[in-house]
Structure 1
Amino acid sequence: MKQFIDTHQNQLINTLICLCAFIIIRFLIAKAIRKIGRISDINKVRTKLIIRYVTILLMFICFGTLVYIWQVNFEDLGIIFSSVFAVLGVALFASWSILSNITAGVILFFSFPFKIGDRIKILDGDFAEEVDILDIKAYHIYLKKDNGELLTYPNNLLLQKGVVIINKEDNDETTEGDYI
């Protein structure tokens, strides 16, 4: 054990620094996201979801840094990584719609154009009704029509279509709203 520590002292110190930096950066970013969520009155579940996405991204960056610190020989791991990346590439290509909805959910979180409880009108030819927002998830948004029907609407379509936020005081008539 002592020989290992003596041989790899620089890598161990750099690994410790990398892990400490990961923990500190994750803490600071999570604190900033929580503050944005609190200021914007965003649902705590959505805030936790965004924090989880950022943590996963930071973990990949930390893993890449550790691989660089320990100077892993990629020739030995080449077959494993190429197989994993091939499977991931096919899976991600097959599920591009899911990824676009997740990305749209993250964008909706940080741009916070509307929140749960708002009344909106989506300017879509197939769907041009006023609805209430019940919940905003990672992939889709839950909407409730006036007749009580519950709908799910993909997040990526909210970014592609025009959306009017209707004033809460004037729910009966469409007045000037905020366009997204």
Structure 2
Amino acid sequence: MVSEIYKTQLINSVIIIIIFIIIRALARLAIRKIGHKRGVNDARIGLICRYLTVVLFFILILVEAFVFGVEVRDISLVFSSVFAVIGIALFAIWSILSNITSGIIMFFSFPYKVGDKIQIHDKDYPIEAIIEDIRAFQLHLRLDDGNLVTYPNNLILQKAVTLIQKDAIEDFGDFH
């Protein structure tokens, strides 16, 4: 028979999991609402929702560890070890992490959307193109001659960008 301590921990775990599911559903609903209000495509909204789920899952694991009696010093030891390994690994791939972070920032505050014609004021390689897609790592930009250019998300946030025409994709035709 399960002791009273474990019954309490299991009941608390079920309550925490239910709260997690509710918070996740409300946050996903808010993200979808923000995305549709800003005209973001569904694939991009889904990507941000997946990022949210991963973050909430790690928070859930942390809270569940406390429910089952894990001490703070034990968790801090595990996290410091994990972060040391992750830190070394991410240092080698910092630009990928930078692009993902930029993609999340762009989801909430990027003033341009798919279909807009923009000009990127880059001194080495200025670009005037239509935004075809906004992905986790890069923008897909379609030049007037039909060529596709991929532009890293972290660079688009560092450069001056001018909106030339809203919804220019309708004027240019279908790229696919």
Same fold (TM over 0.5): yes
**1:110 maps to which of 108, 123, 137:** 108
Contact in 2 for aligned 1:40/1:112 (Cα 8 Å): no
Query: Residue 20 of structure 2 corresponds to which residue in structure 1?
Result: 22
TM score, norm. by length of structure 2: 0.86
- Give per-residue Cα distances to partners, 1:140-175, cap 9 Å, x unaligned: 0111111222111000111111111112499xxxxx
Query: Residue 43 of structure 2 corresponds to which residue in structure 1?
Result: 45
Report the CA distance shift for 1:66/1:169 in structure 2 as closer, same or farther (over 3 A).
Answer: closer
Unpaired segments ≥5 residues, structure 1:
171-180
**1:161 maps to which of 141, 159, 170:** 159
Query: Residue 53 of structure 2 corresponds to which residue in structure 1?
Result: 55
Contact in 1 for aligned 2:116/2:130 (Cα 8 Å): yes
Write the mapping of 1:1-180 to structure 2, written as runs, cut at 5 A: 2-4=1-3, 6-72=4-70, 83-168=81-166
Counterpart amino acid of 1:67? A
TM score, norm. by length of structure 1: 0.84
Runs of 4+ in structure 1 over 2 Å off: 72-87, 167-170
Report the CA distance shift for 1:168/1:37 in structure 2 as closer, same or farther (over 3 A).
Answer: closer
Residues paired across the two proteins, number: 169
Computed over aligned residues only, the root mean square deviation of the Cα atoms, in angstroms, reads 2.3
More displaced stretch, 76-85 vs 148-157: 76-85
Contact in 1 for aligned 2:115/2:166 (Cα 8 Å): no
Give the % identical residues: 50
Cα distance in 2, alignment partners of residues 18 and 41 from structure 1: 34
Report the CA distance shift for 1:105/1:75 in structure 2 as closer, same or farther (over 3 A).
Answer: closer
Task: Report the secondary structure of 1:56's partner residue.
Answer: helix
- Give per-residue Cα distances to partners, 1:120-146, cap 9 Å, x unaligned: 000110122311111110010111111
